[in-house]
Structure 1
Amino acid sequence: MTSVLNKSYLDRPKLKGSLEKKLTHDILDMEESYEKRPFYTSVMACLGFYLLIFIGLINHIVFTPKVATEKNRKGYPPLYNKFDSIYLWYVFRRVKDCFNRVVCGVPGAKIDIMDRVTHDSCWSFELLDTKSTFINLGSYNYLGFAQSEGPCADDTKDIIKKYGWAVSSSRQELGTNNLHLELEQLIAAFLGVDDAIVFDVIHLEQLIRQNIISGQPKTQKPWEKIFIVTEGIFSMEGSITNLPDIIAIKKKYKVYLYVDEAHSIGALGPNGRGIFDYYNCCPKDVDILMGTFSKSFGSAGGYIAGSKDLIDYLRVNSHASCYATSMAPPVAQVIITSMSMIMGIKHGEEGIKRIIQLASNVKYFRRKLKALGCVVYGNDNSPVIPMLVYTISKVGATVREFNKFNIATVGVGFPATPLLEGRIRFCMSAALSKEQLDEVLVATEKIINKLGLCYSKKPISNEEILFKNPY
């Protein structure tokens, strides 16, 4: 099966007009952009944050908080950290209306969100019977496969009739079917490695105590295995890891390399194969490749890929393989269909066109944001696009302003980011059209002028920024 998949992938039809050449991206010419924060902005951000904490402490002393409090805890350690509680109650609560929105539709180019109101200053919310439709720049729908219609949906309907909704067993018992085997072979062929194993959704304990206990050194001998662990795309910075240099270090010091491709698989490289495809590196130079299907593939679960010895070991010893319920058949089929489209095995050029569309959208949107005077972090080829607003108050204000224009974005602040680096994170998608991007950019220009978000000190080029349609 693997050899057939590899052959069909390599022999896929060539794209008209040399579409693959459109994806060279001028990789070596792209720089990581991290503009220094203005001193005045740093001072004001600090003052604003600590002022909110101070006001929160006064409120906490004067007024009884509308939350459950610990009782009968004498002799026990507290369940909650006091600073965390103050922060959640009196800082985060002020922007809580910008988070935890209830989605009631497909997270495609547009998304339906339920309307809600608060009558107690965001302590609680009441859902209404109405909904609003937003242009979606908040979901990790990089290649636009989050759809309720199309090839993925059509194939999945047939699979549900044949296999049902769930497997109801672990992989090592009665939870392995031919879809799992087909998917694992497809992933190995796609990545160009020996083998792969897929997992359903995995929830790690905060301290992953069993793994820590298993991995604790029992002697004072030198370490036998040293790992370099990195990501393909860093989800808060929008930066792309320098894989060639990391591989050089790996080879020099004879250590192991583990790459998390959660955001890069499907979204980077001329073939959508991730970070090693982007840099044209050999996938076998990476010892462990890990990724998720919840972003570029519009599904759920994840995979680990590498040598056959590694994957065989995981199949036998991984707790997720031994005890966890295996991936549901409809979930597996969505991945098989979307990955086959990317590889060109199914539906001709549709998959590669999505990759090219994503790359065009990313470059156009990033350059336009910079031309507006925004501080934009990360690499010009990264679909994660952080726009710095610095203060927590402006994070909330910016998200609310975007909501007025029916644009869904993600506001991110402390503790997910450094205290003084609050940001708006745009997640680009191949499903978005140029007209939708222009609508977002027009709204962005109005918002940054209203809220004073033009923090960039870099000279703005007068060169016209064109959307390069690859078709």
Structure 2
Amino acid sequence: MVRIPYLTALTTLFSYGLLFAFAHTRDIFNKFFLFFSSTNLHVYAPICFDHEDIYIRRLYRRIQDCFGRPIASAPDAWIDVFERYSNDNNKTLLRTTKTSRCLNLGSYNYLGFAAADEYCTPRAIESLKEFSPSTCSTRVDGGTTKLHVELEERIAKFVGKPSAVVFGMGYVTNSSIIPVLIGKGGLIISDSLNHNSIVNGARGSGATIQVFQHNSPSHLEEVLREQITGGQPRTHRPWKKIMVIVEGIYSMEGELCKLPEIIAVCKKYKAYIYLDEAHSIGAIGKTGKGVCELLGVDPTDVDIMMGTFTKSFGSCGGYIAGSKELIQYLKYACPAHLYATSMSPPAVQQVISAIKIILGEDGSNRGAQKLNRIRENSNFFRSELQKMGFDVLGDNDSPIMPIMLYNPAKMPAFSRECLRQNVSMSVSQLVYSQIHVAVAMVAFPATPLLLGRARICISAAHTKEDLLKGLEVIGRVGKLIGARYLLAEPSKQHDGGASDPLGHH
């Protein structure tokens, strides 16, 4: 749970109030002038009314250069970012041919498989030659190759389930599967901070939806007890099915799910549990098998295990793992399996190769090294940010660490300054010069209006020198814009200088 400092909350509310007041005032004047200048006002009804998109026009558009920046390289530890400019106050952004070399702290490239890999890339290229970029068909027609069958067998074994089915898109995996699993007369109890794909899947199911407080097993039990006692609305009949949906790592908070406690509650009230491991599979656990391995949970206690290949495995698509009966049913009933184009064969081969590396089946220990490095990098970076006084969310071992900025003016300032900073620093005889830092900004509607943040994602591809460079820039920018809300003791805190992370002056 985010606890905003009182003064910060007050100034943030005041800032948004002022922005919306000026936005509405400008819209009123625009309507007045438009009424007298336009001669064709009533031919078409407006697609969007002013009050519906005022946030986009008056707030988001002014800072949209901080979002959706096009890159000119693979999303590795370092990326080339195209420079852009605008001649109309950010209504349109024009891309130049000039690029900036940036430290990449925004991609989900947890294990470093997103760029060329000595083991994965040649095999993906060979599969491209053999199977082409696309099957141009659905799985039930001509879209199933031997690679798809192999991946389903491997992912099921990897997560500890009897069977699995793969899909071409991670978002669709949730939004299309949930309506197949539960419908009218059923009850979905969802964590309040679950991903939008889960929200849309639940809404499309026709089931009754209840929300429990984020990561709170005690409140989950209260909701279950109340709903079981009351039954279905109006008829008060028993629920046909009850499903509790949680995530392994919450993508906007970086927090680990309290899975053992939630499973205990679900067992007590005979509710099914659906676990979304999009951000945890491959990234955490001793052998990369996700939150179940990290927290000591038996996978058999989780009824439906969902995950994606878009983060740790450097590919695309998603999977559902469960009992053989469940997976067989999904293959007959899920629209994403019946009607959507199957996962690209080279993307399938990329996942298979990545799993082999993680498990050491490539004949090396690179997988274990990557898992150790992502854990060490994440914990080091988080602890250093906290020492600097940043308000950082999330748990240890999580590669996601949101830095809370709150104020609407600090979000674009943080993003632009990180991209603008030019810092020269020598570490272990390596000299960085004229290199910038790319961070991902997260704002409304992805988060509540008052909880804007910069979301840092750490990778196993980052070296210690990379992380020190990132800390240097972030510390300097945080001090510049006043974002270090939780300053440590003066004798222990960083001052944002060039030698801060190294411990000398």
The residue aligned with 1:194 is 162
In structure 2, the CA distance between the partners of 1:228 and 1:210, relative to structure 1 (3 Å rule), is closer
Q: Note if 1:111 corresponds to 2:79.
A: yes
The residue aligned with 2:218 is none
Q: Note if 1:374 corresponds to 2:390.
A: yes
Deviations 1:128-168 (A, max 9, x none): 12111210001000000001342111111111111111111
Cα distance in 1 for partners of 2:312, 2:80 equals: 20
1:73 CA displacement: 4.5
Cα distance in 2 for partners of 1:51, 1:184 equals: 53
Q: Note if 1:50 corresponds to 2:80.
A: no
Cα distance in 2 for partners of 1:351, 1:460 equals: 40
Q: Does the 8 A contact of 1:370 with 1:460 survive in 2?
A: no
The residue aligned with 2:471 is 441
Cα distance in 2 for partners of 1:289, 1:164 equals: 30
In structure 2, the CA distance between the partners of 1:106 and 1:392, relative to structure 1 (3 Å rule), is same
In the TM superposition, what are the counterparts of 1:348-427 in structure 2 within 5 Å?
348-405=364-421, 406-427=436-457
Cα distance in 1 for partners of 2:358, 2:138 equals: 29
Cα distance in 2 for partners of 1:300, 1:223 equals: 36
1:189 CA displacement: 1.1
Q: Does the 8 A contact of 2:471 with 2:501 survive in 1?
A: no
1:36 CA displacement: 2.8
The residue aligned with 1:126 is 94
Q: Note if 1:260 corresponds to 2:290.
A: no
RMSD: 2.7
In structure 2, the CA distance between the partners of 1:309 and 1:359, relative to structure 1 (3 Å rule), is same
Cα distance in 2 for partners of 1:326, 1:392 equals: 41
1:102 CA displacement: 1.1
Equivalent residue pairs, number: 429
Cα distance in 2 for partners of 1:207, 1:280 equals: 30
Residue of 341, 344, 348 corresponding to 2:360: 344
Deviations 1:281-339 (A, max 9, x none): 10010000000000000000000001111101111111111111111110100000001
SS at match of 2:331: helix
SS at match of 1:196: strand
The residue aligned with 1:8 is none
SS at match of 1:143: coil
Instruction: Identify the range of structure 1 (127-136 vs 429-438) with the bigger mean alpha-carbon deviation.
Output: 127-136
Cα distance in 2 for partners of 1:53, 1:37 equals: 21
Q: Note if 1:151 corresponds to 2:119.
A: yes
SS at match of 2:51: helix
The residue aligned with 1:164 is 132
Q: Note if 1:237 corresponds to 2:253.
A: yes
Structure 2 unaligned regions, length at least 5: 35-39, 177-198, 210-231, 422-435, 495-499
1:60 CA displacement: 2.2
* Structure ranking higher on relative contact order (CA contacts 8 Å, 6+ apart): 1
Instruction: Identify the range of structure 1 (212-221 vs 340-349) with the bigger mean alpha-carbon deviation.
Output: 212-221
1:84 CA displacement: 3.7
Could you tell me which amino acid in structure 1 is paired with residue 145 of structure 2? N
The residue aligned with 1:222 is 238
Q: TM-score, normalised by structure 1?
A: 0.85
Could you tell me which amino acid in structure 2 is paired with residue 377 of structure 1? L
In structure 2, the CA distance between the partners of 1:398 and 1:218, relative to structure 1 (3 Å rule), is closer
Instruction: Identify the range of structure 1 (449-458 vs 37-46) with the bigger mean alpha-carbon deviation.
Output: 449-458
Q: Note if 1:184 corresponds to 2:200.
A: no
Cα distance in 1 for partners of 2:357, 2:120 equals: 10
Instruction: Identify the range of structure 1 (40-49 vs 210-219) with the bigger mean alpha-carbon deviation.
Output: 210-219
The residue aligned with 2:481 is 451
Q: Note if 1:310 corresponds to 2:310.
A: no
SS at match of 1:442: helix
Cα distance in 2 for partners of 1:123, 1:90 equals: 10
Could you tell me which amino acid in structure 2 is paired with residue 389 of structure 1? L
SS at match of 1:370: helix
Cα distance in 2 for partners of 1:70, 1:369 equals: 54
1:414 CA displacement: 2.1
In structure 2, the CA distance between the partners of 1:460 and 1:142, relative to structure 1 (3 Å rule), is farther
Q: Note if 1:62 corresponds to 2:29.
A: yes
Q: Does the 8 A contact of 2:139 with 2:342 survive in 1?
A: yes
Structure 1 unaligned regions, length at least 5: 1-33
Q: Does the 8 A contact of 2:106 with 2:440 survive in 1?
A: yes
SS at match of 2:352: helix
Q: Does the 8 A contact of 2:278 with 2:311 survive in 1?
A: yes
Instruction: Identify the range of structure 1 (34-43 vs 431-440) with the bigger mean alpha-carbon deviation.
Output: 34-43
Identity of aligned pairs, percent?
37
Q: Note if 1:428 corresponds to 2:458.
A: yes
Q: Does the 8 A contact of 1:35 with 1:375 survive in 2?
A: no
Deviations 1:39-80 (A, max 9, x none): 1111110111111111112222334799xx997445xxx643
Cα distance in 2 for partners of 1:226, 1:359 equals: 35
Cα distance in 2 for partners of 1:333, 1:453 equals: 43
Deviations 1:421-471 (A, max 9, x none): 21111011000111011011111121111111121166588499999xxxx
In structure 2, the CA distance between the partners of 1:208 and 1:363, relative to structure 1 (3 Å rule), is closer
1:263 CA displacement: 0.5
1:218 CA displacement: 11
Cα distance in 2 for partners of 1:100, 1:57 equals: 27
Cα distance in 2 for partners of 1:332, 1:122 equals: 39
Could you tell me which amino acid in structure 2 is paired with residue 148 of structure 1? A
1:419 CA displacement: 2.1
Cα distance in 2 for partners of 1:58, 1:368 equals: 44
Instruction: Identify the range of structure 1 (248-257 vs 55-64) with the bigger mean alpha-carbon deviation.
Output: 55-64
Could you tell me which amino acid in structure 1 is paired with residue 22 of structure 2? I
Q: Following superposition, which runs of at least 4 residues in structure 1 exceed 2 angstroms of deviation?
A: 58-66, 69-74, 78-84, 202-221, 457-467
The residue aligned with 1:20 is none
The residue aligned with 2:61 is 93
Cα distance in 1 for partners of 2:244, 2:253 equals: 20
Q: Does the 8 A contact of 2:76 with 2:112 survive in 1?
A: yes
The residue aligned with 1:9 is none
